[in-house]
Amino acid sequence: MGDPESTLTEEAELVDQVELRLGAQLEHLSVVRAVAAHIAMGADFDIDAIADLKLAVDEVCTDLIVRAVPGSAMDCVFRLSPDRIEACVRVTSHNDDLPKRDSFGWTVLTTLTDSVSTRLESVDGHYVIQVDIAKNRTATT
C-alpha cells in the first residue's frame, strides 16, 4: 500500500524467490518465521542453520515492526541461492532511526547470520527502512 518502490521483481527472477507482504504487526511474526524455516528446511540447511535463520528473521521483523507506521505493511523477500538464503525486510517509518548497532538484538543478529546491512531511503516525507540479512548453508557459529 503506497509503497513507493515496489519490491516485486521481474517474473524471471522469482524462480527462487518468495515474497511476503503482511501487516507490520507482531501477531504476524510466527507466519514469517514459519516461512523462513520452511525455505531453509526445503533447501536442506542443517538444523542449526535453520534455527539461526528463523531467529534472525524474527529479530529483523520484530525490530522493523516496532518502527513501522501503525497500520502499514511489512514486505519480506526471501532469495534462495545454492549456498545461502537472503532475507530482505522493509517497512515504512515516520522517522529515520535505524536499528541500533549496540543493541542486544543487533548483536544476536550479527552472531547468527553471515551478513547484515541496513538501508534508509527518504520518500515523500517518510522513510523506508530495509534490513538485509544472509545466512550461509552451513552454520558458522
Partner 1 sequence: MTGAKEHTGDYAHLAPLFGELAALPESDPKRAELRETLVTEHLPLAQHIAARFGNRGEPRDDLTQVATVGLINAVDRFDPERGSDFLSFAVPTIMGEVRRHFRDTSWSVRVPRRLKELHLSVSAASAELSQRLGRAPKPSEIAEHLGMTKEQVYEGLEASAAYHSVSLDEVRGGADDEVTPLRDRIGEEDPALEGVEYHESLEPLVRELPERERHILALRFFRNMTQTQIAERIGISQMHVSRLLSRTLERLRRRLQDEQNP
Partner 2 sequence: MNSEHPNIKIDVEPRPDGVVLAHVSGEVDALTEPVLRDCVDQQLRSSRHFVLDLDAVRFLSASGLAALLDIKRRASRGGLRWSLVAAGHAVRRPLQATGLDQQLPVYPTVGKALAAVSPVVPWTVAG
Q: Is 46 in the site for partner 1 (CB under 8 A)?
A: yes
Strand 115-123 to 84-93 pairing: unpaired
Q: Is 114 in the site for partner 2 (CB under 8 A)?
A: no
Q: How far is the CB of 90 from partner 1 (least distance, A)?
A: 27
Closer to partner 1 by Cβ: residue 45 or 127: 45
Consecutive H or E run containing 63 = helix 47-67
Q: Is 41 in the site for partner 1 (CB under 8 A)?
A: yes
Binding region for partner 2 (CB under 8 A) out of 15-23, 69-77, 87-95, 104-112: 104-112
- Residue 71 sits at φ, ψ, to 5 deg, of 85, 0
CA distance 8 to 14: 9
Q: Is 44 in the site for partner 1 (CB under 8 A)?
A: yes
Q: How far is the CB of 85 from partner 2 (least distance, A)?
A: 17
Exactly one of 48, 83, 96, 97 binds partner 1 (CB under 8 A); which one? 48
**Which residue shows C-alpha cell 527472477?**
13
Contacts of 40 (CB under 8 A, 6+ apart): 49, 50, 53, 54, 85, 135
CA distance 110 to 30: 21
**Number of residues engaging partner 1 in binding (CB under 8 A):** 12
Residues 35-74 that bind partner 2 (CB under 8 A): 47-48, 51-52, 54-55, 58-59, 62, 65-66
CA distance 92 to 65: 9
Exactly one of 45, 78, 106, 127 binds partner 1 (CB under 8 A); which one? 45
Exactly one of 32, 36, 50, 109 binds partner 1 (CB under 8 A); which one? 50
